[in-house]
Structure 1
Amino acid sequence: MNKKNFLNSNSKLLDNILFFSRVLRTTGISISTSQIMSALNAIKFVGIKDRIDLYYTLKTCLINDNSHFYIFDQTFNLLFKENKNLNKFNDQLSEKFGSSNNESIKEEKNISNRVLDSLFPNLVIEKKNNIISEEKVSVNEKISYSFEENFNQLDFESMSNSEILTAKIAISKFSIQSKKIKSRRLVSNDSGKYIDPKNSFVMSVKNGSSSILLKYKSNKLETSPLIILCDISGSMSSYSRMFLHFIHALTEKRKKVSTFLFGTRLTNITRYLKYYDIDIALDNVSKRVLDWSGGTRIGECIRDYNRYWSKRVESGNSIVLIITDGLDRGSSKKLEKEMQRLKKTCYKIIWLNPLLRYEKYEALASGAAAMLPHVSEMRKIHNLNSMKEFTESLNQRI
């Protein structure tokens, strides 16, 4: 068959490719019309001998970010493969999809909720869970959790679109306090515990008294600056946008919060997050930041922070939050040097690491190993529970 006439003679395949592209868009992957046209033209030019050819042609043309590969793979394996359970719910699909055999691609067992939500928008959760597995588990054998407890323990990476929206609303309602701490600076205070010689002498001269009326001073109470350095590289793409909602809530409810995003470069987004409307804030951030889902050069970015920003936004009692998985493509020696310098300019460094969700996690990557000796505390942050726990500890110490 002529390659150029392949799609024209197989209208079902053409419809399925268009439907497949729409499903990927619904899961949150950005796919332009030109990309879909490029995929169709590539199929016409190359021809499709088997499902492997179709798989790699579509993947090359439609996916620009490797963090979206797992969503692509799961969607492809569901739609371009004969699945008995899927066929049972074929009438629930947002569009009809022609099934086809595919033994070349490995079947996915754990399908993302984002994919299932896109394919079955009106299907209840219990039925979605039965699409992939035919094993029936009795109710008595299941662990009983309330919906809220189960939802709070759900990893941000595995959330569906509706669950992500619910989580964002929950984050905006976090109780975030702006407590004040004692600084080394002293101010006049009648009930203070330190004698103020200067004011005592001045007041005795003004009153013309032979005796000196003692004046006192105490430590000034001020809000500790909070500096946030958030990784937006490809390995953090599943979490970075959720963290931005958390950072926006911190900025809205606390004073003296400075936020920087880093991937291959450092970007100060503090003023953009001061908009009360989160959508306006994130829209401004997306226009400003140019290195979303790229590489990671933590050492160079912290160097830029130390060189250009630390003296402008920090004080001796500042707390620095570094949100990253520690996977760095730069020099580990340079990162260690800059972490040493950063540690000298602040009160405490707290490392928030999504990879700590794994019980056996060890900081074996060169970047993580260089950072670990210089942080005061490392905490996990991958779901609502861990985010709430960190917020509570932040309220207590600040």
Structure 2
Amino acid sequence: MSWAPPSADERAVPRHGDPARIAVAFTRVLRGAGLRVPTSSTHTFAEALCAVGLDDRAGVYWSGRATLARNPEDIDVYDRAFAVFFDRRDAHVDPDDEEQLSITIAVDDDDDNPSDDDAGEPNDDPTIELRFSANEVLRNKDFAQYSADELVQAHELMSRLRLVGSPRSSLRLETTRRATTRPDIRRTMQAALRTGGEPIERHHRAPSTRLRRLVILLDVSGSMEPYARALLRFVHAAVAGRQKVEAFALGTRLTRLTRELQSRDPDVALSAATGRVVDWSGGTRLGDGLRHFNDEWGVRGLARNSIVVILSDGWDRGDPETLAEQMERLHRVTHRLVWVNPLKVTPGYAPLARGMAAALPHIDAFVEGHSVAAMEELTRVISE
């Protein structure tokens, strides 16, 4: 099968635009041509485009070839797709192959309201119709690159996340049909009164289950500035969407934000939260903040058998031994201790920061936290 350039009336791929948007579009082209391109490769390609720029055609070519063409036999298809997509020129056509493939690229701004172009009659032309939504691009875009409008859109996406922790047994008993559980004497006797005193219908009770409490500690220090405001929207979505979520801000001091974030109006909640945090974009003393949390709330009961999530890049101006001691202390009482680091997605990242290195031995899960897609993965980790 050979390639033909798109016709003049087809939508052109912008030569200058959002690298993440272009990376997703080109990945769709390659997938339509038969290449297997994982989502992680698309993300790496988008980061490479941000680094080399869209004006450097050689840089764009080698960035895509290094990240998207995984096998030697993929290179020929990649070269032809690159020529069509980026250079808008005809690729090599095999004269013995009469069938040609044209590419149409369309962008849907709204997942729920696709365009009406699909409603037409079916077309027998071998055309690949590629569509990707702005929401999909936004899901994988780094929080540090968000505009103000994109922060609002991301908040809407994160408000749809279901933060449900694993269930735990409660001291409360509930009615059950399982005969292997403890008998419910009161209900059994009440039923016997309706049958002349014979306990024909027997009732039982068993411990009920309840969702574990979720505790979120957000690092608001200066090193977290590119991510803190987006992550604060995630914390608000968690607090407003569930009853048992506690939120704290970690900086040079510990600030409880649960009450401020309970409002379902994001503008009101975020304004109250940022007004409450007096050390926003300042220094950070994670060890001292965790000691305060453990002494005041955590060890006393708030963190016991709970899921504790720390959103931080691990940069700490305090003593790493203090942080390690408090992390070990917190880990002993929690059900699950999760650390979310926005820098983990960086190629070649290693937890070399003193704070991160001190905390790592005491956590149950170490996950990324740079995008909406990473937050979706975090919800899966929390539910385990």
- Which piece of structure 1 moves more, 383-392 or 138-147? 138-147
User: Which residue of structure 1 lines up, in the alignment, with residue 225 of structure 2?
Assistant: 237
Shift of 1:202: 9.8
Shift of 1:320: 0.3
**RMSD, aligned α-carbons:** 3.5
**8 Å CA contact retained: 2:165, 2:214:** no
Equivalent runs, 1:1-398 vs 2, <5 Å: 134-135=55-56, 140-141=85-86, 146-148=132-134, 149-172=136-159, 174-176=160-162, 178=164, 181-183=167-169, 185=171, 187-192=173-178, 194-196=180-182, 199=185, 203=189, 216-311=204-299, 314=302, 316-394=304-382, 396-397=383-384
Cα distance change, pair 318–203 in 1 and its aligned pair in 2 (3 A): same
Whole-Å Cα distance in 1 between the matches of residues 277 and 349 of structure 2? 30
Shift of 1:180: 6.7
**8 Å CA contact retained: 1:194, 1:218:** no
Whole-Å Cα distance in 1 between the matches of residues 265 and 278 of structure 2? 22
Cα distance change, pair 372–180 in 1 and its aligned pair in 2 (3 A): closer
* Structure 2: segments with no counterpart, 5+ residues: 1-16, 21-49, 61-82, 88-104, 106-129
The residue type paired with residue 181 of structure 1 is: P
Shift of 1:245: 0.8
Deviations 1:42-91 (A, max 9, x none): xxxxxxxxxxxxxxxxxxxxxxxxxxxxxxxxxxxxxxxxxxxxxxxxxx
Cα distance change, pair 337–145 in 1 and its aligned pair in 2 (3 A): farther
**8 Å CA contact retained: 1:195, 1:214:** no
SS in 2 for 1:368: helix
Whole-Å Cα distance in 1 between the matches of residues 251 and 131 of structure 2? 38
Cα distance change, pair 133–220 in 1 and its aligned pair in 2 (3 A): closer
Whole-Å Cα distance in 2 between the matches of residues 213 and 203 of structure 1? 9
Cα distance change, pair 199–324 in 1 and its aligned pair in 2 (3 A): same
The aligned length equals: 268
**8 Å CA contact retained: 2:139, 2:371:** yes
Cα distance change, pair 389–111 in 1 and its aligned pair in 2 (3 A): closer
The residue type paired with residue 273 of structure 2 is: V
Cα distance change, pair 163–283 in 1 and its aligned pair in 2 (3 A): closer
**8 Å CA contact retained: 2:369, 2:375:** yes
The residue type paired with residue 314 of structure 1 is: L
Shift of 1:286: 1.8
**8 Å CA contact retained: 1:196, 1:214:** no
- Would you tell me which structure has more strand in proportion to its own residues? 2
Whole-Å Cα distance in 2 between the matches of residues 163 and 385 of structure 1? 14
User: Which residue of structure 2 lines up, in the alignment, with residue 122 of structure 1?
Assistant: none
The residue type paired with residue 289 of structure 2 is: C
With the length of structure 2 as denominator, give the TM-score of the two structures. 0.61
Cα distance change, pair 271–210 in 1 and its aligned pair in 2 (3 A): same
Cα distance change, pair 385–314 in 1 and its aligned pair in 2 (3 A): same
Whole-Å Cα distance in 2 between the matches of residues 224 and 389 of structure 1? 18
Deviations 1:115-148 (A, max 9, x none): xxxxxxxxxxxxxx9xx87546765248988343
Shift of 1:151: 2.9
The residue type paired with residue 358 of structure 1 is: T
**8 Å CA contact retained: 1:322, 1:352:** yes
The residue type paired with residue 247 of structure 2 is: T
The residue type paired with residue 85 of structure 2 is: N
Deviations 1:99-125 (A, max 9, x none): xxxxxxxxxxx9999xxxxxxxxxxxx
Shift of 1:355: 0.9
Identity %: 34
The residue type paired with residue 293 of structure 2 is: Y
**8 Å CA contact retained: 2:165, 2:307:** no
Whole-Å Cα distance in 1 between the matches of residues 185 and 292 of structure 2? 43
**8 Å CA contact retained: 1:314, 1:345:** no
With the length of structure 1 as denominator, give the TM-score of the two structures. 0.59
Shift of 1:153: 1.9
Cα distance change, pair 349–177 in 1 and its aligned pair in 2 (3 A): closer
**8 Å CA contact retained: 2:298, 2:304:** no
Shift of 1:269: 0.6
Shift of 1:158: 1.7
**8 Å CA contact retained: 2:308, 2:336:** yes
Shift of 1:238: 0.8
Deviations 1:217-272 (A, max 9, x none): 21211121000011000010111111111111111211200000011100001011
Whole-Å Cα distance in 2 between the matches of residues 313 and 338 of structure 1? 16
